[in-house]
Amino acid sequence: MHVTRRLRIRSFFHFATSLSAVSLILAALVMTCSQPANALPAFARKYGLRCSACHESWPMLNYFGQKFKDNGYQLMNDRDAPIWQNPGYWPVVFRITPIWHRVSTGSVQVDTYTAGALDGGQAVQRISSSGFDLSGLDFHTGGTLEKNISFYLLPSSDPTGAFHFEQVFVRFDNIFHSSWFNFKLGRFELDNLLSEKRILTLTGNGGIYQTYHFIPVGDGNIFGQIGDNQLGIEYLGHSADDRTRISASLVSSSDGNVNLSTTANAYTGFFTGSQAFDAGRMGVQRIGFYAMAGEASTYYLTAGGGVPIAGSGIGNKSFSREGFVGQFYAGPHIGLTVVTQHGSDNVWFGQGYGNAEITDGNGGTLCSGPIPNGCPPNNVPGTTLPAGSQAPSWNGATFEGHYIYSPQLIFIGRYEAERMSQQANGAVCGGVACPSNLGNISTYTIGFRYNPFMTSRAGLAWHNEYNWLHQDGTGPANLTTGALTNINTSEILLGLDFDF
């Protein structure tokens, strides 16, 4: 076994070394024909800024870019109001990424057919696939409607062209002529220092922050996902130099789904605060905290033989997330962002109650069959919890480092770990105690992005990334021993991420 493991490790490092060598050669070829980087489209066309003014590497913001965003996409000068803009200016950006990627998923249960067997058998194997593909399309538009009144609209599609409104809000800034009074209403990203919507990675598992989305095995609470855009109202306040920032949001406990289709009678609060300080040659460092506390439904009224009625959720139960965020720099080229989080869900969520939808992530569709066969369990009056049921809790951590060679070239590395501290038990593991590591996640992501040019009209990033994810006990059971298997997935992605 140890020999096999060493061989696998050697094979992986041989592959990684080869990929790195090819990538660096290609990077050198592209760099020979590079042009000076100018500005991000849309806002750059309005103010004539270079891309390095607002971005460490597009789309990740630097300190000045965060301040520009906090001011409602304004520089606080006479050019902010639309009346001073060139009539030909149209604040629109299209973004899409043609890619090649290879995805490998281990422990997939498949049917196997043997001679003489009418219904065949079952086996577990690794499935790998590769080919050329597309990302979805983002259609960004934003700016000022009047000085101190701004907007942002982001219709977004999946790769098939099915559109939804990823983000849309109106924002009022500097109320009473104070930077401490700003509000926005609509569908927006929760105000956290590490932004998933400006993430620098694109693979299926590496393109999100696992810490923001982790849900224990069997848990029915989809409503506490910090990385998803939410529907609600948000207060933001900051000092004039943006060193001190606070925010408080009140959102529907619907995970951003529209039409009151999920929990429609419960709300969640999200609170943040951070302080930046100048460390001299090391740069501006920032530390902060965030907390999410809310309730969501576990009981839905039904009709038509047991199908949940949209917007009828009651029987609210609680959940919470608390975290620390730090952004640290060692000079102008090296940065590290750290997020630690503790999460807990009510015992009813731990047993699968809460989510009464089969959702596509764009607004959701109620499950098509009656509870409990076609839908998750429903906390109808008289329901009792299985023996041994517990409230699940867990801890997560994200470490994301980057080396900025220049505003055109950035190297990225990330490690995330999600660890259960208390399992739900009960029905989740058939009435016996769940393994203590059930559902634990470890994932690594490495890559680099190179921008051969970034003008006020268009931008292009050559993106290269590798992600590996391991999760304990979530694979299909071993048909011989009945033991749960682990999931190991990996993805290599190379693409051209462009906007116009």
Amino acid at 249: S
Dihedral sign, Cα of residue 346, residue 348, residue 349, residue 350? positive
Q: What are the residue ranges spanned by the domains of the chain?
A: 1-33, 95-134+195-229+236-499
Reported residue count of the chain is 500
The pLDDT value recorded for residue 355 is 82
Report how far residue 357's alpha carbon sits from residue 210's, in angstroms, rounded to the nearest whole number.
Answer: 22
- Architecture per CATH, 95-134+195-229+236-499: Beta Barrel (2.40)
* Two tokens, residue 285: 């460092």
The pLDDT value recorded for residue 357 is 64
Please, where are the H alpha helices in 343-486? 347-350
3-state secondary structure of 10: helix
The three-point CA angle 126-130-135 to 5° equals 120
Q: Are 439 and 474 in contact, with CB atoms under 8 Å apart?
A: yes
On the question of pLDDT at 88 being above 60, the answer is: no
The pLDDT tens digits of the residues spanning 187-229 come to 999 998 899 998 999 999 999 999 999 999 999 999 999 999 9
Q: What is the pTM of this model?
A: 0.81
The pLDDT tens digits of the residues spanning 454-470 come to 776 678 899 999 999 99
Q: Which one is predicted more confidently, 149 or 480?
A: 149
The pLDDT value recorded for residue 81 is 61
Report how far residue 455's alpha carbon sits from residue 433's, in angstroms, rounded to the nearest whole number.
Answer: 58
The pLDDT value recorded for residue 12 is 44
3-state secondary structure of 316: coil
